Amino acid sequence: MFLYRPAGIVTAVSRPARARDSVLEAYERLLIDEGPRHATLEATAAAAGVSKGGLLYHFASKEALDAGLLGRMEQLARTDLDEMSAAPGGLVAAFLRTSVMDDSPIDRALVAGSKLAQAGSHAAVDALRRVRELWADALRPHTRDETAVQLVLLVSDGLYFNNALGTGAVPGPVPEGAEMDALIALVERAASA
Amino acid sequence: MFLYRPAGIVTAVSRPARARDSVLEAYERLLIDEGPRHATLEATAAAAGVSKGGLLYHFASKEALDAGLLGRMEQLARTDLDEMSAAPGGLVAAFLRTSVMDDSPIDRALVAGSKLAQAGSHAAVDALRRVRELWADALRPHTRDETAVQLVLLVSDGLYFNNALGTGAVPGPVPEGAEMDALIALVERAASA
DNA sequence: GTCTATATAGCGATAGAC
DNA sequence: GTCTATCGCTATATAGAC
């Protein structure tokens, strides 16, 4: 996959870097760094190095652009979950650890999707609900009961919410390092099966 | 205080219902029900029963309107925290219970503020951070350690995040009733001093 | 203190050349 | 497949009558 290659850089792959991917990446970056209000078609096109018309060839409308971003988000969530399931130390710990923003593709996609949802996109709300259900199904076998599933999901939601608030400028009030380790240990003790 | 009286209704109080309050309430309702994109000056003025010019007499700009909403949010957070501190059953339980959307003035103000923050308002981000710090200071004496404070705050953030996603149409995946009681008990067991 | 009318700017989207 | 030019709409904000 070549989804995260910076715009304009052509590498020795079977197909040239597609403008479509550049556009999605630029749109995501604008949503996270500048907010949904500034993530316009024109700004996205400029950041991706194409014209507005060029962008609209690949995504016929802003709704289609949103759908492209959200589809990619859901796909990343699925593959990310597969990788987590194989991680050592239990799924609960792995899940919470990846819930803190580390600029990974899935984190960025989720924050961008959250911004879209709060801005009023129904498609984004639906997509986030589906991802949350995916997580719940994966966590359920590793937790004590349904209340424990909710606890883990809510702590994860809280981490994402705080990460989505910070625009990258000031570090948020989210635990880091040893603090995060302690939090994970606390949640695991309360929720793990 | 007469902040939450429905627009246009004049009651037997010392001063007539002020347009300023009607405007703030209408703006808040639009932010929650229709999203930040539809919460425009014109829509807010119409919902408050005044003209756009009338609105701009009280709030000279959209930034000033945001500031009015956020100031009210912070004030409500302070008085709400005072009331919670007097509640029976411990502050942690009271805090989590009020974190689930019940259409109380403080809940509505916080959801509206969150929408503003995600839409890109730096003032909203700052105001929410201050409220969060207020909560942390109040919770600290009632919790085991700093990690426990973070756990309670993150669960609360998660509840708000999910409530802010739902536009009032479909109920969110947030625990209710007995489920909520079980969650509160679980968090209290893990966090309370 | 509230109104109408208008200025200005930026948005999403279309048309058509290349 | 990508560009330029432009349309139609809506947003914030101002000016000035009442």
The pLDDT value recorded for residue B172 is 64
Query: Is the Cβ–Cβ distance between A58 and A23 less than 8 Å?
Result: yes
Q: How many CB atoms lie within 10 A of CB B193?
A: 12
Closest Cα of chain A to B120: distance in Å? 5
Cα(B154)–Cα(A160) distance, integer angstroms: 10
Identify all chain A residues contacting B137, using CB atoms and an 8 Å cutoff. Answer: none
pLDDT for the residue numbered B187: 98
Count the neighbouring beta carbons within 10 Å of the beta carbon of residue B180.
18
Indicate if the alpha-carbon torsion angle B114, B115, B118, B119 is positive or negative: negative
B190 → chain A, closest CA residue: A190
Q: Is the pLDDT of residue B1 over 80?
A: no
pLDDT tens for chain A, 193 residues: list them.
Answer: 444 444 444 444 434 458 899 999 999 999 999 999 999 999 999 999 999 999 999 999 999 999 999 999 999 999 999 999 998 889 999 999 999 878 899 999 999 999 999 999 999 999 999 999 999 999 999 999 999 999 999 999 999 999 888 765 555 678 888 999 999 999 999 999 8
Domain regions of chain A by residue span? 1-60, 69-191
A150 in contact with chain B, both atoms CB, cutoff 8 A: yes
Q: Which of residues 12-41 of B touch A (CB under 8 A)?
A: 34-38
Residue B12, pLDDT above cutoff 50 = no
Instruction: Name the phi and psi angles at B162, rounded to 5.
Output: -65, -40
| pTM, two decimal places | 0.90
Instruction: For residue A37, give the nucleotide whose C1' atom is nearest its CA.
Output: C11
Contact B183 A147 (CB under 8 A): yes
What would the CATH number be for the domain defined by A1-60? 1.10.10.60
Higher-scoring residue by pLDDT: B167, A147: A147
Q: List the structure tokens of B159.
A: 């509840």
Short-list A137, A138, A136, A116, CA closest to A126: A116
Rounded-to-integer distance, Cα B98 and Cα B103, Å: 10
Q: pLDDT, tens digit, for every residue of B38-81?
A: 999 999 999 999 999 999 999 999 999 999 999 999 999 999 99
Q: Residue B175 — very low, low, confident or very high, per pLDDT cuts 50/70/90?
A: confident
pLDDT at B4 over 50: no
Cα distances (angstroms) measured from residue B28 to each of B34, B105, B108, B172: 10, 10, 7, 20
For B192, the 3-state DSSP assignment is strand
Kindly report the backbone phi and psi dihedral angles of residue A192, in degrees, each rounded to the nearest multiple of 5, phi listed first.
Answer: -65, 150
Please give the full DSSP string across A94-132, using - where no structure is assigned: HHHHTTS----HHHHHHHHHHHHHHTT-HHHHHHHHHHH
